Amino acid sequence: MHRLFGKKQAQGNAPSLTDAIESLDKRSDSLEVKISKLDSQLSVFQQKLSNTRPGPGQTTIKQRAMNILRQKKMYEAQLQQLQQQSFNMEQAAMTTESMKNTMTTVQTMQDTARQMKSQSKNISIEKIERLQDQIQDYMDTAGEFNEILGQNTANVDVDEEELDAELEALQQEASFGGDQLAQEQPSYLQPSNELPNFVDEEQLEAANTAQ
């Protein structure tokens, strides 16, 4: 059978929208180049028509210019059609990409919901509350331990009257020691309020005024 009718050729991968758009854009670019060349030719023929007198020569030039103009119109129509097709395909490509993104987002949300549902089965609100209560109990117990350990165990029973008497004795001892030290010091080391003999009268008056 294959020998009679031939073997069906294997179909390759179908072109994507991006490939189709690129192909249309290349064809559009080719048409734009052709149109540009025709414009240049028309400009030349227009110049010739301006410089040629009426007659068979001018008619021939005009006929050739008309053919070029007709060809240009045909290329422009094809270019407009290709550009419209490319625009439609670009819109289709953007719509397809948007749908893919939406499907990916929905799939991700579904996977997340399944994971949360699976994980929530292992979580109990009552269990969490019990754990919080246990932690609070441990913290309270630790606080009691710290309070007990921080108490002052050196409780000394001291009489206030004895403290006052001891303080008064220390003051008397300090006063007696100061008087005895003053007696033992030489006269030149003891403080004196008398002014030396070399102080003149002006300094003496200034000292009295300051007092």
Range of the domain at 39: 16-105
Note whether residue 192 is domain-resident: no
Note whether residue 90 is domain-resident: yes
Contact assessment for residue 63 and residue 54, using Cβ atoms and an 8 Å cutoff: no
> What residue ranges in 73-204 does DSSP mark as E strands?
none
Average pLDDT, the chain: 78
The string of pLDDT tens digits covering residues 136-193 is 989 988 888 888 887 665 555 667 787 778 878 887 877 766 555 555 555 555 555 5
Note whether residue 210 is domain-resident: no
Note whether residue 157 is domain-resident: no
Pair of tokens at residue 206: 């200034």
The string of pLDDT tens digits covering residues 27-49 is 999 999 999 999 998 888 888 87
Note whether residue 25 is domain-resident: yes
Higher pLDDT, 149 or 5: 149
Whole-model pTM: value is 0.45
Note whether residue 26 is domain-resident: yes
Q: State how far the Cα of 184 lies from the Cα of 186, in Å rounded to an integer.
A: 7
Structurally, the chain folds into a number of domains equal to: 1
Q: State how far the Cα of 173 lies from the Cα of 181, in Å rounded to an integer.
A: 12
Note whether residue 91 is domain-resident: yes
Q: State how far the Cα of 195 lies from the Cα of 187, in Å rounded to an integer.
A: 15
Contacts of 48 (CB under 8 A, 6+ apart): 61
Residue in the structure block whose two tokens are 């249309």: 24
